[in-house]
């Protein structure tokens, strides 16, 4: 029997409102028989607009009705074979979801295999860190300011902000403030290498700032966050 699996990549994207998100849909037949009469349907949330869907890898022209894109596969997917398609859309609000479903049908209309996958688009208005360049001597403390703001009418949940230190900088301390009264505690992993700071927002249109102090140890490095 044919067994269908589907993935939509990337699973998570960060975009400012008005920017375009792009996905690739990949369907794989992991069964022991070719997959016939396959239909791929992709449902995008209403805050994803200006949908552009491309032909499938078998030449299938997609049908776009509202926020649902459908491909009816022109040929069976062989054992171990794959089918792909790409599409894009613009995000207008805080969180966009995109769920794709693949189904295979027998000649009498029964569904012999189905699978789903979901991808998300997060509308982050801005993530900033300053200053870009500092000069210090070994053992001296330096300070960075991180500021992030979130846009939209939907809640943000389980937001994770990670700030990675290079070799040569050691975490000392941090302070935190936001517009909604949260007080998350940063988690530090590694002695010199990394600082992982989870900040959780359950509110819309929120912002936070954090002052991070690092101790200069032995060499110049670059400090990244995302």
Which percentage of the chain shows pLDDT scores above 90?
41
The answer to whether residue 226 is domain-embedded is: no
User: Where does the pLDDT of residue 179 fall: very low under 50, low under 70, confident under 90, or very high at 90 and above?
Assistant: low
Answer with the residue of higher pLDDT: 112 or 157. 112
Query: What is the pLDDT, as a whole number, of residue 191?
Result: 42
Query: What is the pLDDT, as a whole number, of residue 222?
Result: 43
Lowest mean pLDDT, pick from 11-20, 164-173, 191-200 = 191-200
Tell me, yes or no, whether 56 and 143 share the same domain: no
Stretch 22-42: mean pLDDT = 96
Query: What is the pLDDT, as a whole number, of residue 207?
Result: 38
Tell me, yes or no, whether 24 and 93 share the same domain: yes
The answer to whether residue 225 is domain-embedded is: no
Query: What is the pLDDT, as a whole number, of residue 184?
Result: 65
Tell me, yes or no, whether 91 and 30 share the same domain: yes
Tell me, yes or no, whether 10 and 108 share the same domain: yes
Stretch 120-124: mean pLDDT = 75
Tell me, yes or no, whether 139 and 214 share the same domain: yes
Domain around 108 = 4-123
The answer to whether residue 212 is domain-embedded is: yes
Query: What is the pLDDT, as a whole number, of residue 28?
Result: 97
CATH number at residue 77: 2.60.40.740
Stretch 202-218: mean pLDDT = 38
Of 89, 123, 157, the residue at which a domain comes to its end is: 123
Tell me, yes or no, whether 19 and 95 share the same domain: yes
Of 97, 123, 149, the residue at which a domain comes to its end is: 123
Query: What is the pLDDT, as a whole number, of residue 151?
Result: 54
- Cβ count within 10 A of residue 61: 11
For the record, the structure tokens of 72 come out as: 């009816």
pLDDT in tens, 216-226: 333 334 444 44
pTM: 0.62
Lowest mean pLDDT, pick from 3-17, 29-43, 137-151 = 137-151
Tell me, yes or no, whether 73 and 141 share the same domain: no
Tell me, yes or no, whether 107 and 163 share the same domain: no
What one-character-per-residue DSSP string does 173-212 give? EEEEEESS---PPPEEETTTTEEEEE----SSS-EEEEEE
Question: Could you tell me how far CA 40 lies from the centroid of its own chain?
Answer: 22
Number of structural domains (the chain) is: 2
Query: What is the pLDDT, as a whole number, of residue 133?
Result: 80
Which residues sit opposite 224 in a β-bridge? 164
Tell me, yes or no, whether 67 and 11 share the same domain: yes
175 backbone dihedrals φ, ψ, rounded to 5°: -125, 160
The answer to whether residue 51 is domain-embedded is: yes
Mean per-residue pLDDT of the chain: 77
Of 95, 123, 151, the residue at which a domain comes to its end is: 123
CATH number at residue 197: 2.60.40
C-alpha distance from residue 88 to each of 22, 58, 84, 125 (Å): 4, 19, 14, 20
Residue 66, pLDDT above cutoff 90 = yes
Query: What is the pLDDT, as a whole number, of residue 116?
Result: 96
């Amino acid at each position: 029997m044919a067994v269908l699996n589907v993935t939509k990549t990337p699973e998570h994207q960060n975009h400012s409102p008005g920017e375009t998100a792009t996905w690739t849909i990949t369907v794989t037949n992991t069964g022991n028989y070719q997959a016939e009469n396959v239909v791929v349907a992709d449902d995008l949330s209403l805050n994803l607009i200006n949908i552009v869907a491309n032909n499938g890898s078998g030449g299938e022209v997609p049908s776009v009705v509202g926020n649902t894109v459908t491909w009816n596969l022109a040929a069976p997917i062989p054992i171990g074979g794959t089918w792909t398609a790409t599409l894009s859309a613009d995000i207008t609000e805080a969180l966009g979801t995109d769920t794709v479903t693949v189904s295979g049908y027998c000649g009498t209309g029964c569904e012999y295999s189905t699978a789903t996958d979901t991808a998300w688009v997060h509308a982050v208005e801005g993530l900033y860190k300053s200053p870009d360049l500092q000069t210090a001597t070994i053992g001296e403390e330096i300070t960075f300011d991180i500021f992030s703001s979130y846009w939209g009418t939907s809640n943000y949940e389980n937001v994770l902000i990670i700030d990675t230190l290079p070799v040569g900088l050691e975490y000392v301390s941090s302070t935190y403030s936001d517009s909604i009264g949260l007080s998350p505690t940063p988690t530090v992993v590694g002695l010199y290498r990394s600082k992982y700071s989870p900040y959780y927002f359950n509110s819309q249109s929120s912002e936070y700032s954090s002052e991070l102090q690092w101790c200069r140890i032995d060499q110049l490095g670059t400090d990244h966050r995302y």
